[in-house]
Structure 1
Amino acid sequence: MTVSTPATSVHGDLDQPSFSIASLSLGTNVHHNLPTKIRTASRLGYDAIEIFIPDFDAFVHEVGVGHHAEMFTEEDWLQVRATKDLELLCAKTIGRYCQEYGLVISCFQPFREYENFAGASRMAKTKMGSLPPRLQVALDRAESYLRLMPALQCDLLLVCSNLLPYDPITESYTERDYLDDQVAAFTELGQLASSYGVKIGHEALAWGTVVNRWEQVWEVVDRVDLPNVGVILDSFNQLGQQWADPSEPSGRRPLPPTVLSDNLLKLSRTIPVEKIFFYQVADAAKPGSPIQSFPTFPSRMAWSRKMRLFPMEEEGYLPVLDFTKTLKRMGYKGVWSLEVFNASLDSLDEKTVESHGQRGIDGLRKLHEACSHL
């Protein structure tokens, strides 16, 4: 096996952050497998890769039907026969494969549907002996991923907010009640994750039914007050919710011009930089015409799935540079990781992984250069 030199040894710039890319941003797993993505990311000079859980699941299925045999030894298969745990073997193999190619697994993502646990905070206040059943089921689901992470050699699980089947906020169950319940739920999750040596990063999605802004995520993280529970900031999701609006002809929310700068200043004065566990970077194209919103498929979700771009690409219109400069001024020195969904990822072309990876690393380098004179 030819292994590339880890990118961190060739940057020549001690101030440059670690560059990462989500495996999903290199092509759909329907046409492009995870080992190919890992090798390509390494060759192009990335330091790290986020493992998209559907990509990992696809790899496990492929192994189960006989693919990737060269990645396993006879001893590996004897272990699976003894433990009946193909998932764990695949996690160890992917962790080892990334290490051989000089990549850190920066994040395992996304853990979805960890939300809307009415009554969880009352349970915490009264110190009842058992958790609400739905919360316990969600924690069991979380543990099915947490148990794999030491084998992956990955210590960060991304937990995103969600589009819910209905809006739970009513006169009798307010947003305050909702966030109280999320604090109780994330306290339980953080404690569970600590037993595996894993951190939890909470991210607001732009189309989240209730949680869709960094302020809400920070309130939950701050009140949980555990060292392994922190904030994940995503330039697309925050700017796409608080600045942009793909359902408007202009592509922007009708807001005063100072709203963005005021919000970024507020962010810089609110979240301690050590509680920002991860930074995901993406821009987006402005829709040619307004995107209609539906209850089960909001306009921001449709826009996200098909029109994200890598940073510094000409078609992008979100103020990603301003957002990134804010984090740098705050002293953030963690990973910059690309999370780009786009219709182009569905291409069958075998060059898809290479072309998207190259666009991504070029964008990160341009973004870093644009921020380097602060």
Structure 2
Amino acid sequence: MTYQPAIMSASLGRAWLHDFNYKIQQSAQAGFKGIEIFYEDLEYAARKISENADPTPEQLFQAAKHVRSTCESQNLEIIGLQPFLFYEGLKDRNQHAKLVEKMKLWLLIAKNLGTTTIQIPANFLPAEQLTGDLDVMANDLRQVADMGAAETPVVRFAYENLCWSTHIDTWEKAWDMVKRVNRHNFGTCLDTFNIAGRVWADPTSATGKTPNADADLKASMERMVQEIDVSKVFYIQVVDAERLASPLIPGHPFHVDGQPARMSWSRNARTFMYEDDRGAYLPAENVAKTIISGLGYKGYVSMELFSRTISEEGQHVPDEHARRGIVAWEKLQKNLQLN
């Protein structure tokens, strides 16, 4: 495999609004070859089995087997399970211990899904709940990496900076953490939105950009080519976002008190690549080209999307999102001459 298109299950619609089997069917019919399983979809499938809000581990395993079978019937490879949230650097070490136990469950779920990758987004809990100590964070992440390394087959962890994460909000910081953890099965997921959305874009600005956007992005991309070991890039996500008509500050429809603006922007206003008609404006292709041509990445390219549109009701949502996603992939494939 050189390059193959993937999509995240949640990008096709909310679990409680859109049938999982139908979303899978639409993904395959559109031409996707891989899929990221969003835990919310899996949990919802388990709730259908359990008929209550708290499915047992056995019911989660049963749901995972069903999801695996459904994907296999459509020739879709499950490229990962995500997101394992709010893990590293907690001040509350009792909660940390609970999450280590939860990871044991996730490792079994991954086995039942038939996938060997779990994604961990960088923690975005409020700063007062986190130590901010990079050594503590690295030790925490090393702990789960060692748990995954003991599995057969080995489970890998793809650590992802979010552009609103409390401490690890750039690819540079995420890569530093990968080096600190220093485990063969601990790498990163590079996401064009989360990269460009931090160094280049600012939804609170009237311009939609940071003050030195172009120069800062150029320098960041040059560093990426020089610093990242591509063998530790486990998969990539390619996505864009809307330039908002007005700054995302108090009074904006997307504003939520106490929530980082970039998080509110991400949840409401991402787009697939090249959707200029929907306001897409990030230099997402530039970032993707750096990862693919500059680093030499080969593998799955996931067309991930979060947007207010995934919460709309109706069968048209997975239909339309699958179509939009594959159109974006085909344009990227053509523009970067991928095969």
Fold similarity call, TM over 0.5: yes
Which residues of 2 match residues 79-94 of structure 1 at below 5 A? 85-94=58-67
Match of 2:122 among 157, 161, 171: 161
Work out which of the residue numbers 11, 14, 18 in structure 2 matches 1:28. Answer: 14
Superposition pairs for residues 80-159 of structure 1, below 5 Å? 85-118=58-91, 132-159=93-120
Amino acid in structure 1 at the alignment position of 2:268: K
Partner of 1:126: none
In the alignment, the residues of structure 1 paired with residue 219 and residue 338 of structure 2 have an alpha-carbon distance, to the nearest angstrom, of 22
Task: Give the CA deviation at 1:214.
Answer: 1.0
1:212 is aligned to 2:198: no
Query: After superposition, what is the alpha-carbon deviation per residue over 1:7-31, rounded to whole angstroms, capped at 9, x for unaligned?
Result: xxxxxxx75x110000111011121
**Paired residue secondary structure (1:50):** strand
- Alignment map for 1:1-374 (pairs within 5 Å): 17-65=3-51, 85-118=58-91, 132-167=93-128, 175=132, 178-196=133-151, 197-255=154-212, 257-292=214-249, 296-314=258-276, 315-329=279-293, 330-372=295-337
Residue in 2 aligned with 1:128?
A: none
Unaligned runs of 5+ in 1: 1-13, 67-79, 120-131
Letter in 2 for 1:187: R
Larger Rg: 1 or 2? 1
Unaligned runs of 5+ in 2: 251-255
SS at match of 1:111: coil
Distance change (3 Å), C-alpha of 1:321 and 1:84: closer
- Compute the RMSD of aligned alpha carbons: 2.2
CA contact (8 A) 1:214 1:233 kept: yes
Task: Write out per-residue CA displacement over residues 17-73 of structure 1, whole angstroms, 9 at most, x where no aligned residue.
Answer: 11000011101112102111111111111001111101111111123349xxxxxxx
Contact 1:162 1:207 in 2 (8 A): no
The answer as to whether partners of 1:308 and 1:342 remain within 8 angstroms in 2 is: yes
CA deviations over 1:262-296 (Å, ceiling 9, x no partner): 10010111111101111011100101100016662
Deviation at 1:148? Answer: 0.8
Quote the residue 1:123 is aligned against.
Answer: none
* Cα distance in 2 between the residues matched to 1:251 and 1:257: 12
Would the aligned equivalents of 2:199 and 2:213 in 1 still touch at CA under 8 Å? no
Rounded to whole Å, the distance in 2 between the matches of 1:48 and 1:373 is 17
Question: CA 1:64/1:264 → structure 2, altered by over 3 Å: closer, same or farther?
Answer: same
Deviation at 1:166, TM superposition (A): 3.2
Distance in 1, Cα, partners of 2:232 & 2:57: 38
Tell me the CA shift for residue 92 of structure 1.
1.3
Q: State how far apart, in whole Å, the 2-side matches of 1:116 and 1:62 are.
A: 34
Aligned AA (1:289): S
Distance 1:224 1:84 in 2: 29
> Distance in 2 between the 1:312 and 1:107 partners?
25
Q: Which runs of 4+ in 1 moved over 6 A?
A: none
**TM-score, normalized by length of structure 2?**
0.91
- Conserved 8 A contact 1:18-1:47: yes
Checking the alignment, whether the CA contact within 8 Å between 1:26 and 1:357 is kept in structure 2 is yes
| d(CA) in 2 for partners of 1:344, 1:150 | 32
How many percent identity over aligned positions? 29
TM-score by length of 1: 0.83
Q: Deviations over 1:63-92 (max 9, x none)?
A: 3349xxxxxxxxxxxxx9xx9811111111
Assess if the C-alpha contact under 8 Å between 1:201 and 1:277 holds in 2: yes
Please tell me whether the aligned partners of residues 161 and 208 of structure 1 are also in contact (alpha carbons under 8 angstroms): yes
1:212/1:27 Cα in 2 relative to 1: closer, same or farther (>3 Å)? Answer: same
Number of matched residues? Answer: 327
Distance of 2:331 and 2:34 partners within structure 1: 18
Question: Given that residues 157 and 187 in structure 2 are in contact (C-alpha distance below 8 angstroms), is that contact kept between their aligned partners in structure 1?
Answer: yes
Distance 1:141 1:371, change over 3 A: same
Contact 2:46/2:62 (8 A) holds in 1 = no
Task: Report what 2:253 is aligned to.
Answer: none
